[in-house]
Structure 1
Amino acid sequence: MRKIRTAHLALNAALLVSVVANHASAETPKSAPSPIYGVTIPDGYRKWQMIAPSVEAAPLDELRVILGNPKAIEAIESSTQPYPDGTILVKLAYKRKQSPDFEPATVPGQPTTVQVMVKDSHRYASTGGWGFGRFVNGQPVDEAQHQTCFACHAARVKDRDYVFTRFAP
């Protein structure tokens, strides 16, 4: 059973990487800046390296993949904390759906959000050096949702420079 579960997770990670690669050439329209932080969706982010996949259980029921710009990858690989200014992390989230080709597999369905964290210790000094953005269909979500970003990160991962994601070997 453990081997099947491990194989299933590996297949899902490979499928997520494939989805990101297949969309790498897609043009991303310029987003409006997020409320509070002024973060936008960075150009070229779909070509960045994957840091880790993740699965969000109910009620969201999402497959996610976290990407990092070169500065983020370098910091994660060298275990550098705090992350240096200029680090950018992007989380792509998709509704989970059953694969039409391989019944035990879950594949990305409808995209739900693009979430962005930008490290700038001067600009975002009051929020641990991080600015946050959540986007649906390329547009930022309302201010109320952005108010919850830092509080959640501060309550759970302050000791890891406010970053949930860990490098997937």
Structure 2
Amino acid sequence: MNRIRYIVLASAAAALGLAFFAARDDEDWRPAAPVYGVKLPVGHEDWPLIAPAQEAAPLDELRVVVGNPVAVRAYRDNVRPFPDGTVLVKRAWKHVPSPDFAPASIPGDATTVQVMVKDSKRYAATGGWGYGRFIDGQPVDEAQHRTCHACHAGRVKGRDYVFTRLAP
């Protein structure tokens, strides 16, 4: 009888442990950006490259834009407007000269991670896009999020509000 109790208790403990780790992989535990409720996508660090970029002064950053499979497919098939489910993530670092080769540069400290999520119903008022901006995994203040769409609408509305072009 003790052996049966042990097996039952061990099975229950294992199930609880798996449930805990499954919950940790869920995006719900990540903080949401104000205004749009966008979260940092799980695993975005491993997404395919859409394009690199360099931001001049005053930011002086190295940036890369990566995309989820929906985004990559839309770029490669030239589908515009982007379909719902498209997620673009811009990762940025301070631009630092290489200590090994003077003409080259390397990423320094991380600065921001910016996210665009396409959901034409949820974000109908902003061309179908929701925005998030994060520093050290935490969303920045609401005022900074309120400027996202205005900048995109003022400059790239005709390209479905997206600045980034696919790198050849």
The TM-score by the shorter chain falls in which range? 0.7 to 0.9
User: What code does the residue aligned with 1:152 have?
Assistant: C
**Residues 55-81 of structure 1, C-alpha deviations (whole Å, 9 max, x = no match):** 000000000000000000000011100
Who wins on radius of gyration, i.e. which is larger?
Answer: 2
Query: In the alignment, what sits opposite 2:73?
Result: 74
**Residues 61-119 of structure 1, C-alpha deviations (whole Å, 9 max, x = no match):** 00000000000000001110010000000000000001111111011000000000000
1:1-169 equivalence runs, <5 A: 31-169=30-168
1:31 to partner: Cα distance:
3.2
* SS class of match (2:40): coil
User: What code does the residue aligned with 1:134 have?
Assistant: R
Q: Provide structure 2 residue ranges, at least 5 long, that are not aligned to the other structure.
A: 1-24
Task: Tell me how far apart the structure 2 counterparts of residues 94 and 48 of structure 1 sit (CA, whole Å).
Answer: 17
Q: Which moved more, 1:98-107 or 1:55-64?
A: 98-107
Whether contact under 8 Å (1:66, 1:92) holds in the other structure is yes
Task: Tell me how far apart the structure 1 counterparts of residues 135 and 100 of structure 2 sit (CA, whole Å).
Answer: 28
* SS class of match (1:145): helix
Task: Tell me how far apart the structure 2 counterparts of residues 134 and 109 of structure 1 sit (CA, whole Å).
Answer: 19
CA RMSD of aligned residues (A): 1.3
| Structure 1 residue ranges, 4+ long, deviating more than 4 angstroms after superposition | none
Task: Tell me how far apart the structure 1 counterparts of residues 76 and 102 of structure 2 sit (CA, whole Å).
Answer: 35
**Residues 5-58 of structure 1, C-alpha deviations (whole Å, 9 max, x = no match):** xxxxxxxxxxxxxxxxxxxxxx9x953100000000000111110000000000
Q: Aligned pairs, how many? A: 142
Task: Tell me how far apart the structure 2 counterparts of residues 135 and 145 of structure 1 sit (CA, whole Å).
Answer: 10
Query: In the alignment, what sits opposite 1:24?
Result: none
1:148 to partner: Cα distance:
0.3
Task: Tell me how far apart the structure 1 counterparts of residues 52 and 115 of structure 2 sit (CA, whole Å).
Answer: 15
Query: In the alignment, what sits opposite 2:4?
Result: none
Query: In the alignment, what sits opposite 1:13?
Result: none
Whether contact under 8 Å (1:31, 1:140) holds in the other structure is no
* SS class of match (1:167): coil
User: What code does the residue aligned with 1:101 have?
Assistant: D
Q: TM-score, normalised by structure 2?
A: 0.82
